Amino acid sequence: MHEWSLAEAVLKSSVEEAQKRDLKRLTEVKVVLGELQGIEEEIVKFGLDNLKKGTMAENANFIFIKEHASFQCRNCQNIWELREVDLNDYSIQESIHFVPEVVHSFIRCPKCGSPDFEVVRGRGIYIKEISGED
Ligand SMILES: [Zn+2]
């Protein structure tokens, strides 16, 4: 399952980062989750709780920070957020979460109506910060 491989990747990257810094144990990991990624945070957490056993991250607290998606219009430079867009149709939201690229089919710049925009934030998942003990 997608969430489990993500949990594995998060664990692996945090352990590697901790090793680079010569830490013996991880105590806290802050993970940023992009809104467009549509990840089930609870499943990733559950995966991590299982996978971290026996690793240096066994007692680490994984904290998830949701990053809201925002876009910038290439035509008029307007910047707006996904939550400002009226997405009443649930199936549209689901499509966006399933394939972030599809966002261009459903969303237009609210100011000038152009479909030509870039995703500024809210895509992907990354580790923002780790803390540990030497
Ligand atoms: Zn525009």
Number of structural domains the chain divides into: 2
CA distance 55 to 51: 8
CA 33 to ligand 1 center in whole angstroms: 26
The DSSP 8-state label assigned to residue 21 in this structure reads: T
Q: Please tell me whether residues 59 and 83 are part of one structural domain.
A: no
Pair 4, 43: CB distance under 8 Å: yes
pLDDT digits (tens, 9 = 90+) for 111-134: 999 989 999 999 888 999 999 999
pLDDT above 90: residue 16: yes
pLDDT above 80: residue 38: no
Pair 74, 117: CB distance under 8 Å: yes
CA 69 to ligand 1 center in whole angstroms: 16
The DSSP 8-state label assigned to residue 50 in this structure reads: H
Phi (first) and psi of residue 121, to 5 degrees? -140, 165
CB-count burial class (<10 Å; 0-12, 13-18, 19+) for 27: middle
- In one letter, which amino acid is 106? F
CA 97 to ligand 1 center in whole angstroms: 23
Q: Which residues are within 5 Å of ligand 1 (an ion), measured at CB? A: 73, 75-76, 78, 109, 111-112, 114
CA 66 to ligand 1 center in whole angstroms: 26
Q: Please tell me whether residues 53 and 75 are part of one structural domain.
A: no
CA distance 123 to 134: 33
Q: Please tell me whether residues 74 and 61 are part of one structural domain.
A: no
Q: Please tell me whether residues 48 and 96 are part of one structural domain.
A: no
59 or 108, which is more confident: 59
CA 114 to ligand 1 center in whole angstroms: 5
Cβ count within 10 A of residue 42: 10
Q: Please tell me whether residues 10 and 33 are part of one structural domain.
A: yes
pLDDT digits (tens, 9 = 90+) for 41-82: 899 999 999 999 999 999 999 999 999 999 999 999 999 998
Q: Please tell me whether residues 15 and 61 are part of one structural domain.
A: yes
pLDDT at 131: 97
Query: Which residue range forms the structural domain that includes residue 48?
Result: 2-67+122-133
